[in-house]
Structure 1
């Protein structure tokens, strides 16, 4: 759409960077894939006219989200399953959808999904699956789409009224944030609201499961040295790790599978009772209903693991969460492992910045820099003994011990 123009120095620099990262990808260099994604996004932004950026942001992406939502409703992604590489016609796909949907609607949906890279177009009015659309047929991805489009999008629409009512001050209270403004539940926390609206809570849990897919796991060999830092020196047949607020258990179960038969002790998954019913756990993982604001009942574990917990609360509540664990720890033996984003002081990634905004909207919470993390933990009687990060990841594993 934009007229031809002489490449800027920034454009030329990005092209050189992409060429180098491309070579790195061919040679299997760690981080090359992620670097290419970032550099390619930057190149698209640099080459696009402001009006093209506007159309992409304000027209194409909102329409894409809406169509993904409608696609879940009519089971479009299930209709695309098991199609041949050559695809199927719009009419054939529509016949497999729910709700007796008009084939004209299906065709219009598929054309925009193709334009956004979600499905393939193999011929006139003929479409086929992609890895993306195949994934979108999975329950966790369906839950993610429904949660964002149906349950959380209204929160974005309430932001203006929230800020106007609160003098454009940043929320710092999990019971009075834009989410509470949207659902008229001031005084109730985000997660308390889920208890009264279990379908929303189930979708949220599914979204958290989908979020973990394709990402480096904290127990991967190139991430945190589990064997050196936890297994070595751990007491045999004792409590090994407690996953505090671990949701449906994808972390603790992933650890069990990765080190099956090699862990010296037992594993515990803690969360609210209604969340634990969603967990699918193998032998050796015990579910335990627990409110992490109350004293930790699992004493003397080698490690207490918190994934995306600290980011959900303000400093006051986080101090209570941590101080509830401290008495259960054994000095010189127990560790607290915090799996979170550690936001750089400059050049934060889009995944960090967008989630920071969502945390504010839902929980009156935020992400933290390294210094902010350190200050919080020291205030609870813990010392940071190390920060680990996978070369292909964005989050970090912070290790803490009793001061």
Structure 2
């Protein structure tokens, strides 16, 4: 995944500022102590923010609802592009561009500055490294998706869980999203193609700059398989509109064979056609897999959308093929959480899956889930992105 970490020299300067603030705090007495503590806190926060990978931090920030609200307002105002190239935009320019009341702009940018998305100077506002990802429309699409389609169901959870006796959702009860809105998210997206298209864009923000991730070494591993033209190299099951396989193709042009992306026909109808080097095939993951001889069956960001029972159902469409043809591999790309001490991002992403009936799993939960289908973990591949690639094999 392409990253944009703060350069080491800048971090060293921030460390020096923390040390200076710490010395001031140690020397402070009386009424100055509160000011010194606040100054040390701010300098420490700057250092912590400098150690984050900006693209990754977009996700947990979305769940700071005031911040995601301010991000959405800037999107509505069409302002993000005005900050491209490191440009500083003055308050006068912002007012001229938006025709908004000054107090609105002040309060929105106050929130975004506090979140370290912008830095304020007498000349105006400039994007920080943490703000640069919002120049990518995929990140803004994900903010929009979560803000309007998912977070309302999360906010309804205290009520809906109480109404359902704090029982985990089942296929019969429906998901918490359905509890809150009367229909399942996937059904709703099927009848709102504009929102489905927004979701596809939002999913690309998982790994901005490298949407396919680098956990699984496609070129090396597929190169070992001696795939020939005309054979099926990869079936990307529920693969959306092909953006993952498009990138795998571009990064590994030497790989032969077909790349097939399967999804519902309504997903494909939202675009003019498949990316170059990719074939579309309409398919429902809960029905028998029509491609019988692929080298790789691939699910990316799919298992976390579903319960163990549902995952076991659609695994049942693929496992018989693995038994029939030893050459085939099964790859599952999702988070593999630590068994204890999950990070804030881990926890945020897990709870955000709850309304649609899914969850993020730790290694023990992956092992338990796969065993129900006669599978085990062969290897967990990891790269720079949060997601891992779980390579499966038969028990």
TM-score, normalised by the number of residues in structure 2: 0.77
1:62 counterpart residue number? 65
Equivalent position SS for 2:177: helix
- TM-superposed CA distance for 1:281, in Å, is 4.5
Instruction: Answer whether contact 1:332 1:402 (CA < 8 A) is retained.
Output: no
Instruction: Answer whether contact 2:218 2:252 (CA < 8 A) is retained.
Output: no
- TM-superposed CA distance for 1:383, in Å, is 3.8
Match of 1:161 among 125, 145, 159: 159
Match of 2:78 among 58, 71, 75: 75
2:205 counterpart residue number? 210
Residues 105-158 of structure 1: per-residue CA shift (max 9 Å, x gap): 22332233222211232315x223345545324332222222222232321221
1:399 counterpart residue number? 391
Looking at structure 2, the residues matched to 104 and 244 of structure 1 have their Cα atoms a distance apart, in angstroms, of 49
Equivalent position SS for 1:376: helix
1:337 counterpart residue number? 331
Q: Which runs of 5+ in 2 are unaligned?
A: 1-23, 28-46, 54-60
The reply to whether residue 200 of structure 1 matches residue 198 of structure 2 is: no
Higher relative contact order (CA 8 A, sep 6+): 2
1:109 counterpart residue number? 108
The reply to whether residue 315 of structure 1 matches residue 311 of structure 2 is: no
Looking at structure 2, the residues matched to 346 and 275 of structure 1 have their Cα atoms a distance apart, in angstroms, of 37
Instruction: Answer whether contact 1:387 1:397 (CA < 8 A) is retained.
Output: yes
Residues 214-266 of structure 1: per-residue CA shift (max 9 Å, x gap): 56844x3xx33434433212331111001111123222111111101x11211
TM-score, normalised by the number of residues in structure 1: 0.76
- TM-superposed CA distance for 1:365, in Å, is 2.1
Distance 1:61 1:394, change over 3 A: closer
Match of 2:289 among 290, 296, 302: 296
Equivalent position SS for 1:136: helix
Q: Which runs of 5+ in 1 are unaligned?
A: 7-21, 23-32, 39-56
1:190 counterpart residue number? 185
Looking at structure 1, the residues matched to 263 and 291 of structure 2 have their Cα atoms a distance apart, in angstroms, of 13
- TM-superposed CA distance for 1:278, in Å, is 4.9
- TM-superposed CA distance for 1:305, in Å, is 0.6
Match of 2:246 among 231, 242, 253: 253
Instruction: Answer whether contact 1:79 1:96 (CA < 8 A) is retained.
Output: no
Backbone CA RMSD of aligned residues: 3.1
2:276 counterpart residue number? 283
Poorly superposed stretches of 4+, deviation over 6 Å = none
Distance 1:131 1:263, change over 3 A: same
Looking at structure 1, the residues matched to 150 and 172 of structure 2 have their Cα atoms a distance apart, in angstroms, of 16
Distance 1:350 1:332, change over 3 A: same
Map residues 101-180 of structure 1 onto 2, 5 A cutoff: 101-123=100-122, 126-173=124-171, 176-180=174-178
- TM-superposed CA distance for 1:338, in Å, is 0.5
Residues 348-396 of structure 1: per-residue CA shift (max 9 Å, x gap): 22222111111112x2222222232223223223343221112x34321
2:341 counterpart residue number? 347
Moved more, 199-208 or 209-218: 209-218
